[in-house]
Structure 1
Amino acid sequence: MDSSIINNYTQAANAAALQADKYRKQANTYSLLRLGIFALMVFAVYLTVTNDDFTIMAVAFIVLLAGFAWLVSKQAAFERQRDYYLNLQRINENEITSLQTSDNIYSNGQQFANDKHLYTSDLDIFGNASLYQLINRAATTAGNFKLAAWLDAPASKDVVLQRQDAVKEIAAKNEWKKELQTLLLFAKNDDPNRLINLFKFLKMPLNFPGERALGTYAKVAPYLLVLAIVGALFLPLVKSVAILIALVNLGIVASKGTHIKKADMVADKIGTMLGNYAGVFNKIESEPWQSAYNNALAQKLKDDDTSAKIKELSGLISKLNYHLNIIVGVVLNATMLWDIRQIIAIENWKRNNQQNIEHAFDVIADFEAIISIATTNINYPEWVTPVIADTEGYTLKAKNIAHPLIRTGNRVDNDYDLNNTFGIDIITGSNMAGKSTFLRTIGINSVLALAGANVCASVMEVSVITIVSYMRIKDSLNESTSTFKAELDRLQMLLAAVDNEHRVFFLIDEMLRGTNSVDKYLGSKAVIEQLIAKKGVGMVATHDLQIARLEDKYPGYVRNYYFDIRVENDEMLFDYKLKHGECKTFNASLLLKRIGIEVGE
């Protein structure tokens, strides 16, 4: 583990904490000043009553309301800054935790786990202690789904190369990356239905009766009321006219309560959420991009002026929410028919802008997926960008390849070489010698490579392949499925995939465990020979040394590899290194002896 990387994150987290504390103190100061404004408002009411002079109340109300609004605005700005730096601190601390323990504040992808997928269950792609948990930095629901889709299936060579360039560019902009994550962190715990409801609301016209006439009157009403108030200063009788106008305005707003309530159902907290997203869109739009992938995504937003439009909608919905404060709502509706003005403005916005909004949010999901896989470039600089081979045969070559989910001090690397060919590698070895881990190492790094990410190796070259695994075979009481039946189902899926999927590379770990040794050998041999007949390519790990004899029968197609142990003074020593040939040393009797079971000669 590179200590300088952790030091950088630690310094950044501490700097963010200092900034958060500064803005917290400023927000608290303005909160106290707001209490002072409220006290002055009470005093103004007292003077109005004791002096029976409406002018005091009118002037004080206008001045103090303006002052209160300014203080609220300033306090809100400081609180936003405070929350931003608190989130930035959290983002940096999460990277430290990820490097040290692999824990992550983001989703581990358990919702995408699927035991019947071609490989994700066997290779620990989703769920606790998974690849997804290691790299995921997506806060939005769409971003989580996007990243899961990239790990669920290999991309084409062109797409992988585009993603590689995009990832390198993001990795070189680590501060920008962390800032975007900070701006998006609010979405991690946000209700995903809120955004879905917004999309529905934008597509559904409100059909507001009398919209044009009401819109015209709403523009004129404030001037009429101001004239009446000014007139009341000179002619006391006009005071009644001012009150009447205010009451009429409130009545009009109340008569449209049903339509306002429909908008309210969506507007709750949406204004703030959209304001947050406006900042995200602006962050993407304003950054200069060089890679074709990132530039194309950002250009979609620029062409539609997305950040400005989202900010405008956020402002309109936030203004509609002013009526949630009863006193403010009554005053604004009495003077300006506030709710009606905002409803009409929102409807006009919907007519002009709603068509591209969902596409804009999909751009954020793409950036979150890119940011997630760029995490490997930043946090693990020793990992390498794989070469995507374009050979007629299968290519899967690697040097010093290791399992990315095993801690640096514990994992053992290996070399592997399958170069522009078709073939099956038989891997024999003792229990716990490393066969299964090696198969998963090849599989999980291939998944990373074909998603566009760096891999845990010093060199890797891989064709665009579809991994199909046969490793963790489980019975199912709910489905009345025995282990052997589950194995047959998995074999059927594997053989069908070899026939139908693009360039399948299979990983088989100990076939037919649910039957007797004779049937196990004969069945395994038959399956491998059928795979050879189909020109199947992959690896088969087994304890059965007789399977290794297939190299004699198919010397141009089958290769033997093994993992072995050394036994010294009844102690088993593992080196976890892949070697050519077949294993000669096994350890089951030693393992049984350790738990008190003596095995005869």
Structure 2
Amino acid sequence: MQEPTLFYNQQLAKHRAEAKRLRKQIGWLSTLRLTVFLLTGFGINQTFNQWQIATGIAIVGPTVFLILLSRYTDFKTTRALHKRLIVLNETELQIAAGDFHHQPDGSEFQNPSHAYSLDIDLFGRGSFFQYANRTTIKEGTQNFVKYLLANDITAIADRQEAIMELAELSKWRQQYTALSQGVHTEHSANSIITWVRSYRPFLKSWHFLGSILFSLLSINILGLGIIEVIPIGISVYWLLLGLALSGFYLKRINGLAQHTEMAKDTFRQYALLLEQIEEQTFTSALLKHKQKKIESNGIKASQIFKRFSKALDALDNRNNLISAIFGNGYLLSDIRQAYHVEQWIKAYGHKVEDWFEVVTFFDTFNTLGTFAFNHQDFTYPELTENGQTIVAKGLGHPLLPRDERITSDMELSESQFFIVTGANMAGKSTFLRTIALHIVMANVGLPVCAISSSYKPTKLITSMRTTDSLTDHNSYFFSELTRLKFIVDTITEKTAPYFVILDEILKGTNSTDKAIGSRKFVEKLVKLNATGIIATHDLSLTEIEKELEAVKNYYFDAQIINDELYFDYKLKKGVCQNMNASFLLKKMEIV
């Protein structure tokens, strides 16, 4: 794979050049359209008495004008796509430089009741979501969040394979993302799916055949009236009859049109996205499976969507007053176009949810593929079934800049529990979140921030950031106890292996009570064969290592040299001997 920054700079230069070229062509087309318009009017005026020439100009001029207008629209659409690709690459370069706090932070997805999301900065300012998210469709964002929160330890290898493949398809990913950014709709895909699935057609085949017959009769009546075989006034009465027939179904067709109005832009844009998926050759099982879902008896879903989009546009023409009067009066166009829409819904409505889901899936997995592409120095964990939960070398926090990131090696077996001590600011909490993100990212299928990693899939559960609640009348201590009970109950169910991460538990009580309670809680977890880590300042807790073989002590060190505090942020075996609270109080002249 190409180096990310080099790739983004190359793409940025390419799309800027294309946008500049298209801007010039759009300018020329605008000038040509105006010239054709003026010349057509001038030509008709000058040849008004020569009706053959004037008629020719009246036909050729507008035809050329419409051709130029079509080209103008195509160029504007293409330029808009290139402009989105420019912004996309500029954003990637910004984020690569560490500037990502302008991105949506996903605060709305924070959930204190979730097994881990609040504790590990998954959402909010400076979060993993804010750093990694590149989804552009609302449902794609929700799906990305679902993967982060799922705690799903099944089918990881399939997701890894799909992400690896998409990481290689950088140009395709960017094209898909830029196209999906063109989806502007006030209505969610779910609301459209609900409407399509629940809609019950009211027009029968005889309505359609009747409209065709009525249209043929209209042509004959108009023709006969023009050549004065019958009084021309009959065509007026026929027009009123057509309007009366259309008016009989007006209310129900209006209801249909109201829903199609909210859906047409989505179907038009999704057709382009489905076309992108159809035209790409995939090799991974998961991507091929999703691609297979958008086939329908040998017909491409994108073609089916385009056909529906055209039917929706045709029905939308009823908003034109002249078209509505003469189209319905002579052709029963509302009935005919509504019938086409209903027939499409009848034939394909049950498949729309699957097709929308595939579009959403690729929006989500493009985000995962982009993350993998941007972090080619990360590694995909080797999935194992042996007794070691995590064996990692060079393990670091994925959101820290590479030149600032301090890494550690770690080896933690199943049913083993680490007690980590250390001075304030020595790196304990960052290390806990590093482990937590390793597990979350590995379960999603992403590469992790490590030189190498061997991982036995496990679910994550944490207690690191408990808050009190005035609205629920819960104290901080009661909230913490509730959280710890949640952890014990979850592990006791034994539905899956769990990795427990705890940071300084029982902070809401006195030190003696805290020490006794923390010790008993760790002993309880060990008895339940839990795997995990607890960080603490309470050195008495490290005595458990002498009594329980499953417990191991580790620490982060701090040293005071020449009246200055130094940290190496490295995980070491043993118990921390240097604490720094008193030193910092004195250094900052607090005491």
Q: Deviations over 1:455-503 (max 9, x none)?
A: 0111111111111111111111111221111111111111112212511
Q: Cα–Cα, structure 1 residues 567 and 380, in superposed 2: closer, same or farther, change >3 Å?
A: same
SS of residue paired to 2:151: coil
Q: CA deviation at 1:101?
A: 3.0
- From 513, 516, 519, the equivalent of 2:513 is 519
| One-letter identity of the residue aligned with 2:402 | T
Q: Cα–Cα, structure 1 residues 311 and 45, in superposed 2: closer, same or farther, change >3 Å?
A: same
Q: Is the 8 A contact 1:47 1:56 kept in 2?
A: no
| TM-score between the two structures when normalised by the length of structure 2 | 0.90
Root mean square deviation, CA, Å: 3.1
Q: Is the 8 A contact 2:389 2:458 kept in 1?
A: no
Aligned to 1:353: 348
| One-letter identity of the residue aligned with 1:523 | G
- Cα distance in 1, alignment partners of residues 46 and 468 from structure 2: 82
Aligned to 2:586: 593
Aligned to 2:380: 385
State the identity as a percent: 29
Aligned to 2:16: 17
Q: What does 1:353-502 correspond to in 2, within 5 Å?
A: 353-391=348-386, 393-419=387-413, 421-500=414-493, 501-502=495-496
Aligned to 2:555: 562
| One-letter identity of the residue aligned with 2:105 | N
Q: CA deviation at 1:227?
A: 4.8
- Cα distance in 2, alignment partners of residues 215 and 274 from structure 1: 24
- Cα distance in 1, alignment partners of residues 176 and 278 from structure 2: 12
| One-letter identity of the residue aligned with 2:125 | N
Q: Cα–Cα, structure 1 residues 417 and 110, in superposed 2: closer, same or farther, change >3 Å?
A: same
- Cα distance in 2, alignment partners of residues 232 and 23 from structure 1: 51
Aligned to 2:162: 166
Q: CA deviation at 1:202?
A: 4.9
Q: Is the 8 A contact 2:185 2:265 kept in 1?
A: no
1:85 and 2:110 correspond: no
Q: Cα–Cα, structure 1 residues 499 and 471, in superposed 2: closer, same or farther, change >3 Å?
A: same
- Cα distance in 2, alignment partners of residues 279 and 260 from structure 1: 28
| TM-score between the two structures when normalised by the length of structure 1 | 0.89
Q: Is the 8 A contact 1:154 1:464 kept in 2?
A: no
Q: Cα–Cα, structure 1 residues 379 and 91, in superposed 2: closer, same or farther, change >3 Å?
A: same
Q: CA deviation at 1:12?
A: 0.9
Aligned to 2:120: 123
Gaps of 5+ in 1: none
Gaps of 5+ in 2: none
- Cα distance in 1, alignment partners of residues 362 and 277 from structure 2: 9
- Cα distance in 1, alignment partners of residues 476 and 99 from structure 2: 32
| One-letter identity of the residue aligned with 1:431 | N
SS of residue paired to 1:426: strand
Count of paired positions: 587
Aligned to 1:112: 109
Q: CA deviation at 1:122?
A: 0.6
Q: What does 1:15-164 correspond to in 2, within 5 Å?
A: 15-27=14-26, 30=29, 70-103=67-100, 107-157=104-154, 159-164=155-160
Q: Cα–Cα, structure 1 residues 62 and 344, in superposed 2: closer, same or farther, change >3 Å?
A: farther
Q: CA deviation at 1:376?
A: 2.3
Q: CA deviation at 1:140?
A: 2.1
Aligned to 1:291: 284
Q: Cα–Cα, structure 1 residues 282 and 3, in superposed 2: closer, same or farther, change >3 Å?
A: closer
Q: Cα–Cα, structure 1 residues 466 and 513, in superposed 2: closer, same or farther, change >3 Å?
A: same
| One-letter identity of the residue aligned with 2:446 | A
Q: Is the 8 A contact 1:394 1:422 kept in 2?
A: no
Q: Cα–Cα, structure 1 residues 292 and 357, in superposed 2: closer, same or farther, change >3 Å?
A: same
Q: CA deviation at 1:429?
A: 0.5
SS of residue paired to 1:576: strand
- Cα distance in 2, alignment partners of residues 263 and 33 from structure 1: 40
Q: Cα–Cα, structure 1 residues 109 and 9, in superposed 2: closer, same or farther, change >3 Å?
A: same
- Cα distance in 2, alignment partners of residues 271 and 136 from structure 1: 27
Q: Is the 8 A contact 2:391 2:455 kept in 1?
A: yes
Q: Cα–Cα, structure 1 residues 323 and 103, in superposed 2: closer, same or farther, change >3 Å?
A: farther
